[in-house]
């Protein structure tokens, strides 16, 4: 990592080092107040699209067993561009017997998400809870080895498919100690967390590696400070940590507090990304949801927000009705508040060229400099013209905007270059060919300008408009 110091002798891993350069640039720009984008004029109409327009994601926990529910997948596919498996990637699910790995349900979720251009957060590699029975009864060096093997196997299996891993979950104690939670993993030695991070780094050097916990939202709480001190120590010693997840299960006993933004920005100042990973709020008050989103949008290194389920009936706390959709699938007031806060929020700073371009892999012709003129569909269209313009660019992805003229009902075919993937769209109804690289966008009543986010995956070639057809 570029911020290694104090005796970390690891050679910097290429991708993680590149990410650190980009993020450091973004943090620098943020710190100096430079290069913030104005809010874009076109407001997204779904959570994922609105977040993507601001350089962020909006995700949800997904249960494999619900993927056959049409009402559920309709909302999932329309609204979200990040997915977390609610239970299917946990240790008891992925290694039910020692050395025998089982990925079926997890792969169902990963495939559903990725085939639709959504990204995946991995949850979770090492946790004191939901361990398989064989692991619960282990201790000492045998347990340490088994845990590290699990981290290595699972992170390797999903390498390239998971953008961020909750490497370690909930390792700190509740209450006033600010120390570690007692568990069989903790009893293998205090260094078990950093050992897990190093194993995950070796297995998947491209994924962001997060520490994830609950009741770490209030800046004054001892638990928050305990995690903060660990992250500061990890950064100082070069332990490969990229992000901190704040579960943010808010309820009457553990309410949202206004210093939440201080918590997010203080962690970010340590040089890590912050992510809201399991948001739900008892009763779903619109004002509190709005505040949480505004807090994330105010912190440039807050990458995105994941709610812990889609409809109230999908929630682990269904009786608290804590989510954005009613059990019948309709949008609640909290949904409108969240969408508005996303659309009103600040975009994350763009990375400043030339240091922001993924340095080694960008051929000179493929980078989309701002001066490149827009491309227009070739004449064989079909009654309309589509013009593609470059929009915001970040370290790992970029937005494009397409303006259609000559028709109000249209379909535009756009191709991206593999391994690029479209991760979000707005102001149109997309469908895909079997390769996932050719998108047909149809007008959906949102006007004649649509947009999309492309994950570069190392290739910065500008997407191509293949045709525009009036219908």
- Tell me the catalytic residues: 170, 278
Sign of CA dihedral 329, 335, 336, 340: negative
In the complex, minimum distance from the CB of residue 316 to ligand G3I, in angstroms, rounded to a whole number? 4
- For residue 62, what are the β-bridge partners? 85
Token pair, residue 12, equals 């910097």
| Strand 410-415 relative to strand 438-442, pairing | antiparallel
Q: Does 152 bind ligand G3I (CB under 6 A)?
A: no
Residue 471 lies near ligand G3I (rule: CB under 6 A): no
Q: Which of residues 184-243 bind ligand G3I (CB under 6 A)?
A: 214
Shortest CB 322 distance to ligand G3I, Å:
11
State how far the Cα of 18 lies from the Cα of 16, in Å rounded to an integer: 5
CA distance 129 to 146: 15
Q: 455 phi and psi, to 5 degrees?
A: -75, 125
Candidate list 247, 356, 411, 469; residue touching ligand G3I; CB under 6 A = 247
Q: For residue 199, give the nearest of 136, 245, 154 by alpha carbon.
A: 154
- The mark string for 315-354 relative to ligand G3I (x by CB under 6 A, - otherwise) is -x--------------------------------------
Residues 6+ apart with CB under 8 A from 284: 312, 321, 322, 323, 324, 332, 333, 334
Tell whether residue 130 is a contact of ligand G3I (CB under 6 A): yes
Nearer to ligand G3I, 79 or 278 (CB): 278
Nearer to ligand G3I, 245 or 349 (CB): 245
When asked if residue 278 is in the footprint of ligand G3I (CB under 6 A), the reply is yes
Cβ proximity to ligand G3I: between 170 and 194 the closer is: 170
Of the residues 39, 87, 102, 206, which one makes contact with ligand G3I according to CB under 6 A:
87
Structure tokens at 235: 């950064």
Query: 69 CB contacts (<8 Å, ≥6 apart)?
Result: none
- Cβ 247 to ligand G3I shortest distance, Å: 5
Question: Least distance (Å) from ligand G3I to the CB of residue 105?
Answer: 10
Smallest separation, CB 377 to ligand G3I (Å)? 46
Query: Is position 129 an interface residue for ligand G3I (rule: CB under 6 A)?
Result: yes
> Which positions touch ligand G3I (CB under 6 A)?
86-87, 129-130, 214, 247, 278, 316
């Amino acid at each position: 990592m570029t911020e290694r110091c104090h005796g970390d002798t690891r050679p910097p891993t290429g991708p993680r080092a590149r990410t650190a350069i980009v993020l450091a640039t973004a943090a620098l720009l943020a710190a100096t107040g430079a290069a913030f984008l104005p809010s874009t004029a076109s407001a997204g109409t779904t959570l994922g699209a609105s977040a993507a327009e601001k350089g962020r994601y909006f995700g949800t926990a997904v249960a494999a067993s619900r993927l056959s529910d049409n009402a559920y997948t309709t909302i999932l596919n329309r609204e979200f561009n990040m997915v977390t498996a609610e239970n299917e990637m946990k240790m008891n699910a992925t290694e039910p017997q020692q050395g025998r790995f089982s990925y079926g349900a997890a792969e169902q979720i990963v495939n559903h998400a990725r085939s639709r251009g959504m990204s995946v957060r991995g949850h979770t590699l090492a946790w004191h809870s939901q361990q398989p029975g064989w692991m619960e009864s282990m201790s000492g060096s045998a347990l340490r080895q088994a845990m590290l093997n699990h981290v290595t196997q699972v992170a390797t299996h999903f390498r390239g498919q998971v953008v961020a891993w909750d490497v370690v979950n909930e390792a700190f104690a509740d209450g006033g100690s600010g120390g570690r939670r007692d568990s069989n993993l903790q009893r293998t030695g205090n260094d078990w967390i950093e050992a897990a991070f190093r194993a995950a780094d070796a297995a998947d050097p491209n994924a962001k590696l997060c520490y994830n916990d609950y009741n770490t939202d209030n800046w004054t709480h001892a638990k928050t400070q305990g995690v903060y001190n660990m992250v500061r120590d990890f950064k100082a010693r070069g332990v490969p940590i990229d992000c901190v997840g704040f579960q943010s299960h808010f309820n009457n006993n553990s309410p949202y507090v206004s210093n939440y933004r201080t918590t997010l920005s203080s962690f970010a100042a340590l040089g890590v990304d912050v992510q809201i990973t399991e948001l739900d709020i008892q009763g779903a008050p619109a004002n509190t949801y709005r505040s949480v989103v505004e807090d994330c949008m105010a912190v440039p290194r807050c990458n995105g927000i994941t709610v812990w389920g889609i409809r109230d009936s999908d929630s682990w706390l269904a009786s608290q009705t804590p989510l954005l959709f009613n059990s019948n699938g309709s949008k609640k007031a909290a949904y409108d508040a969240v969408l508005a806060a996303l659309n009103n929020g600040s975009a994350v700073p763009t990375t400043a060229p030339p240091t922001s371009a993924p340095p080694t892999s960008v051929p000179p012709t493929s980078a989309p400099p701002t001066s490149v003129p827009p491309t227009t569909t070739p004449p064989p269209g079909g009654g309309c013209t589509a013009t593609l313009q470059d929009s915001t660019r970040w370290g790992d992805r970029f937005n494009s905007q397409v303006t259609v003229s000559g028709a109000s009902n249209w379909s535009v075919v756009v191709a991206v270059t593999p391994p690029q993937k479209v991760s979000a769209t707005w102001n149109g109804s997309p469908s895909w060919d079997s390769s996932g690289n050719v998108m047909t966008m149809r007008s959906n009543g949102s006007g004649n300008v649509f947009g999309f986010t492309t994950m570069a995956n190392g290739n910065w070639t500008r997407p191509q408009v293949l045709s525009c057809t009036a219908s």
